[in-house]
Amino acid sequence: MAGKAGATPTTYAPSPTTQKTKSLVFKNDDVDWVRPDKRGFQQCRPAFFRTGAVNAASGSAYAEFGNTKVIVSVFGPRESKKAMMYSDVGRLNCNVSYTTFATPIRGQGSDHKEFSSMLHKSLEGAIILETFPKTTVDVFALILESGGSDLPVVISCASVALADAGIMMYDLVASVSVSCIGKNLIIDPILEEESCQDGSLMITCMPSRYEVTQLTVTGEWSAPKISEGVQLCLDACSKLAKIMRSCLKESASSLEE
Amino acid sequence: MVGLSLGEKHFIQGGIAQDLRCDGRKRLTYRPIYVETGVIPQANGSARVRMGATDVIASVKAELGKPNPFQPDKGKVSIFVDCSPTAAPTFEGRGGEELSTELSAALHRCLLGGKSGAGAGIDLSSLVVVEGKICWDLYIDGLVVSSDGNLLDALGAAIKAALSNTGIPRVSVAASAPGDDEPEVDISDEEFLQFDTSGVPVIVTLTKVGKHYIVDATTEEESQMSSAVSISINRQGHICGLTKRGGAGVDPSIILDMISVAKHVSEQLLNQLDSEIAAAEAVNEES
């Protein structure tokens, strides 16, 4: 699958219009610094999506961004558990887990509670829960290989899987993160960059509606820097959504044939 | 959850739109904050913070441990929050567990800064005793005793107060051969090192109800929120962390506006909190 991603380089790096700030960002001592994978500071990894990765699921998607590989399957809508109280809107249940071999050091492969709740919070605003009352939609994400920016990839992939399952949504949810290293903003960081970052900012948004469903910031940021990072991410998100949409169109047209 | 009638909901929303909330506050006014320090004698530092009916306790315990091999020059800090079912019946079982993880993750993000330690409220390198061998492990535990909204801000304030109350015993390392994996240490019972807490940020949560946002929302007000943004801001006015709650989407320009409002509010909150902590410490020393 990696070969296919390389053959059609679908990057979603923000357009040059936002790069006017670039000269400002680069005015510091570590100009000569090069990213480990030779990308530009504001250049994203090629994104690859494919739907229908799991047969048993009502919808599923596989995503590959560089070394980050995730698989998300969506089950349902199916009847909520008996113990649950009656609810006239649908429920969303999210679960994110790592495989034991996903990380450089062999992990426990257990559920990632923080990511699960983040995934839930980023998606619930986009799904029209009123369309499936009394039922639950399960979203299970598995990170096959962790290569940095894991959560943004999981979120984007999950929204493609939800669309594949035919769950009604207001818009696709795209997610991008930037890392702050020194004075530079680095988009779509890989694992090495994430381990030495000073701060990070992650946005999940619905690009067509221009709404942010989730935003997290760590590390020390000044207000102008945050707005710069937000703009950078939003621009990349809208481009990423186009790639996601074209993947969905492709799978839909291949079904018709 | 809070059971509110339609009339009550309209009353809350209408009040917020007119800048006069149910308890007479304006949109950007906090409830009075009461700080008490040194409430748990067994801990190295502790504090209790009350904001209206919200009541939280934070404790700091320090233990000697081994630093992470990837970061030999840094100590370790872990934050746990416990939402006791005594505070609200919804905290029992999974509901409380979910809220606890969410609060712990948000506090972690707001107080500990990036992976490299930049922007951290707690200087991790000050926790090292012998580089690569011995460091202090700080365990920060938050307990929600009673909940009436705005838990994150209260917990943030309690942790700040607990840290300024914390004394870490002075450790003297016995001279030993280099390469010795476990140098002998002597923990002093009398000399304590105080923490520099000037860098610890405060957390300001802005809750969006209708078109407006309010600070320090009560449980009733929180039930009417569409989304909330928690921003931690330090003395310098820098943002140290940000988390969003609630699934509803928000326009990016509104978030940026919220950040500037939070910055303004944080200055007053920092000053108020600092004077409250100083007063609490003074009472402590007298007794």
Confidence at residue A25, expressed as pLDDT on a 0 to 100 scale: 38
Decide if B2 is inside a domain: no
Decide if B192 is inside a domain: yes
* CB contact (8 A) between residue A213 and residue B252: no
Decide if B13 is inside a domain: yes
The residue behind tokens 């559920």 is A111
In the predicted model, what is the mean pLDDT of residues B154-161? 90
Query: What percentage of chain A's residues is helix, strand, coil (to nearest 5)?
Result: 35, 30, 35
Contact list, A220 vs chain B (CB under 8 Å)? 113-114, 118-119, 234, 238-240
Indicate the domain borders of chain A. Answer: 44-256
Query: What percentage of chain B's residues is helix, strand, coil (to nearest 5)?
Result: 30, 30, 35
The residue behind tokens 């029992």 is B92
Is there a cis peptide before residue A77, judged by omega within 30 degrees of 0? yes
Confidence at residue A9, expressed as pLDDT on a 0 to 100 scale: 52
Percent of chain B with pLDDT over 90: 9
Decide if B105 is inside a domain: yes
What is the distance in angstroms between the Cα of A122 and the nearest Cα belonging to chain B? 6
Q: CATH classification of A44-256 is 3.40.50.20, yes or no? A: no
Band of the pLDDT at A157, cuts 50, 70, 90? very high
Contact list, A218 vs chain B (CB under 8 Å)? 109, 112-114, 119, 241
Decide if B1 is inside a domain: no
Band of the pLDDT at B180, cuts 50, 70, 90? low
What is the distance in angstroms between the Cα of A201 and the nearest Cα belonging to chain B? 9
- With a cut of 60, say whether residue A19 has pLDDT above it: no
Number of domains making up chain B: 1
Q: Give the domain CATH number at B38.
A: 3.30.230.70
* CB contact (8 A) between residue B249 and residue A194: no
* CB contact (8 A) between residue A212 and residue B249: yes
Complex ipTM, two decimals?
0.81
Closest Cα partner for A111 from A136, A139, A147, A76? A139
Q: Which residue has the higher pLDDT, A41 or A108?
A: A41
Residue B102 near chain A (CB below 8 Å): yes
Kindly list the distances between the CA atom of residue A209 and the CA atoms of A14, A249, A257, B250, in Å, as whole numbers in the listed order.
18, 20, 32, 10
Judged by average pLDDT, the poorest of A240-254, B28-42, B182-196 is B182-196
What is the distance in angstroms between the Cα of A78 and the nearest Cα belonging to chain B? 21
- Within 8 A by CB and 6+ apart from A114, the residues are B101, B105
Q: What DSSP designation does B181 have?
A: S
Question: Strand A91-98 vs strand A135-145: parallel, antiparallel, or unpaired?
Answer: parallel
Distance CA A123, CA A152 (A): 12
What is the distance in angstroms between the Cα of A4 and the nearest Cα belonging to chain B? 34
Residue B57 structural domain: 8-286
Decide if B131 is inside a domain: yes
User: For B98, which of A117, A199, A227 is closest by C-beta distance?
Assistant: A117
Whether residue A215 contacts residue A202, with contact meaning beta carbons closer than 8 Å, is answered with yes
Distance CA A68, CA B128 (A): 34
- The pLDDT tens digits for B203-241 are 999 998 888 889 888 888 888 888 889 998 888 888 888
- With a cut of 60, say whether residue B98 has pLDDT above it: yes
Contact list, B98 vs chain A (CB under 8 Å)? 117
